[in-house]
Amino acid sequence: MSRPSPFHSEQAPSDASDNRNGRQSVLDRLDSSLFTAPIRMISFWMAVALPFLHVPLLLRGLTDPSQTITFLGLLVVNMVALLIGHPYNTT
């Protein structure tokens, strides 16, 4: 006889008071996807487009402190957009 694999995923027991026939979880997923899908899409495409704004700054050089701050700010916004937009359109 073989034992079940320790890596086999198991379902956690659900609480009957919170989840009647699975309706509540479906509604929760639907509501969250209505808000998160557009945000992920916008973040994904921002992460694609923002590096094109870095190029002119780097070509001119970061000699002025305001240019350096602008570059670093764009870099931070790009990293945040990458993190938020990473799961966009995954199946």
Question: Using one digit for the tens of pLDDT, what is the confidence trace for 21-57?
Answer: 556 666 566 556 777 888 899 999 999 999 999 999 9
* Domain residue limits, the chain: 38-91
Position with higher pLDDT, 61 vs 34: 61
* Residues 81 and 46 sit within 8 Å (Cβ to Cβ): yes
Q: Tell me if the pTM is above 0.85.
A: no
Instruction: Name the least confident of 5-9, 48-52, 87-91.
Output: 5-9
Report the chain's terminal Cα–Cα distance, integer Å.
36
pLDDT given at position 4: 60
Q: Is the dihedral of CA 33, 35, 38, 41 positive or negative?
A: negative
